[in-house]
Amino acid sequence: MSELVKISDIFDIEYGNSLELISLLETKSTNHNAIPFISRTENNNGASAFVEKELDIKLNSKHTLSVALGGSVLSTFYQPIEYYTGFHIFVLTPRKQLSIIEMLYYAKCISSNKYKYSYGRQANKTLKDVLIPAKISKNIKVNLTNFYQKSLINISNKSVNNSNQNLRIDNWADFKLTDIFDIKKGERLTTYDRIKSDKNIPLITASSENNGVIDFISYSDFQFEKNIFKNKITIDMFCNVFYHDYQYFSDDNVHTLIPKLKINNYASLFIVSVLKKTTNKYSYGRQARIHRLEKEIIKLPTKNNQPDWQFMEDYIKSLPYSKSL
């Protein structure tokens, strides 16, 4: 079992904005500049509303944890984007670089101490002394990669919009994969090189499980030596296809698709679904290597003879759980 340390040994702890929602201008979560308003709720990742940005109010940094000190005491959430907070919310900033997976793990560890508190016993004076594991084992990290995908779904089962997008295929057309993406082959990484300290970047290999994550490597050791990607689609030798909205490194059995035009996460997930339909073309004897992927043809919805990215985005947004993507 890992050594236990105080939260204050791993995180810097400070109060959030202490704002009143009534003093802010609420907006729809789908608006481009919508800012999450984090309060003392245990639902929706702590967000009780979305508001417009205030020029004179500093946003809390992304890649931090929000912790409720009252109300739903010790409800702790990973915040991937900048946000505002209501009263009695601590913001925890990692003192050293932590991956998304590690941040989610620590959020769960902190929340598990809820039983120690009640509405009459708040956590503002004692949170810094709560004990959490000093390190996270490799096995837990790998398992949490899968949990990360599911945890996003658990935030809300609602769609971003209520439009009913008809997936008609009469306006679809063929496109070469290389018309849309540059294809980058992964790099070989020996088992010895995987044995590094400070493992915090997922290593993607040929696998249908855990989004292809088999291990974690050290960002500080490899950031100048290896290609570290983020917000990209990967295809492995067996045509397992995944989208990664976090930093990762891929080995030489995996290819990363680098879009030639900017594609958001919704359209990327649409492409993933299309690519998964090509899986039956490939096997151990006929692997999805770069010379074959460069010839791959996929069908996509079109507008003016070009991929209709807006339709792809709107379709994914219309699906259940899309609000949590």
CATH assignment of 172-324, among 3.40.1390.10, 2.40.100.10, 3.90.220.20, 3.40.50.10420: 3.90.220.20
CB distance 214 to 234 below 8 Å: no
pLDDT of res. 140? 67
pLDDT of res. 138? 66
Calculate the alpha carbon distances from 112 to 48, 72, 94, 103 in Å.
Answer: 22, 12, 19, 14
Residue 15 pLDDT class (50, 70, 90 cuts): very high
Lowest-pLDDT range, 22-36, 147-161, 233-247? Answer: 147-161
Other C-beta atoms lying within 10 Å of the C-beta of residue 92: 25
Residue 155 pLDDT class (50, 70, 90 cuts): very low
CA 10, 12, 13 angle in degrees (round to 5)?
A: 120
Which residue would you say has higher pLDDT here, 200 or 172? 172
Sketch the domain layout of the chain as residue ranges.
4-136, 172-324
Q: In whole numbers, what is the pLDDT of the chain averaged over residues?
A: 83
Work out the average pLDDT over 161-175.
Answer: 71
Distance separating alpha carbons of residues 14 and 24, to the nearest angstrom: 22
pLDDT of res. 156? 44
Calculate the alpha carbon distances from 121 to 24, 118, 128, 146 in Å.
Answer: 29, 5, 15, 34
User: Which of 143-147, 198-202, 236-240 holds the top average pLDDT?
Assistant: 236-240
Other C-beta atoms lying within 10 Å of the C-beta of residue 308: 18
Identify the CA nearest to 296 among candidates 308, 282, 310, 312: 282
Q: What tokens does 109 get?
A: 């560890």
Work out the average pLDDT over 299-312.
Answer: 92
DSSP per position, 57-126: SPPBPSSEEEEESSSSTT-EEEE-S-BEE-SSEEEEEESS---HHHHHHHHHHHHTTGGG-BTTB-STTT
Distance separating alpha carbons of residues 36 and 169, to the nearest angstrom: 36
pLDDT of res. 199? 62
Q: What tokens does 139 get?
A: 């096995």
What tens digit of pLDDT does each residue of 169-198 get?
A: 778 999 999 999 999 999 888 776 666 555
Same fold across 4-136 and 172-324: yes
User: Which of 139-153, 212-226, 281-295, 299-313 holds the top average pLDDT?
Assistant: 299-313
pLDDT at 99 > cutoff 60: yes
What tens digit of pLDDT does each residue of 39-73 get?
A: 998 888 899 999 999 989 999 999 999 999 888 88
pLDDT of res. 167? 67
Q: How many residues does the chain have?
A: 325
CATH assignment of 4-136, among 3.40.462.10, 3.60.150.10, 3.90.220.20, 1.10.10.10: 3.90.220.20
What are the residues facing 132 on neighbouring strands?
5
pLDDT of res. 144? 63
Whose structure tokens read 């995987």? 194
Q: What tokens does 213 get?
A: 């994550």
Distance separating alpha carbons of residues 171 and 111, to the nearest angstrom: 49
What SS3 state is found at 266?
helix
pLDDT at 8 > cutoff 70: yes
Q: What tokens does 88 get?
A: 């009695």
Phi, psi of 133 (to 5 degrees): -60, 140
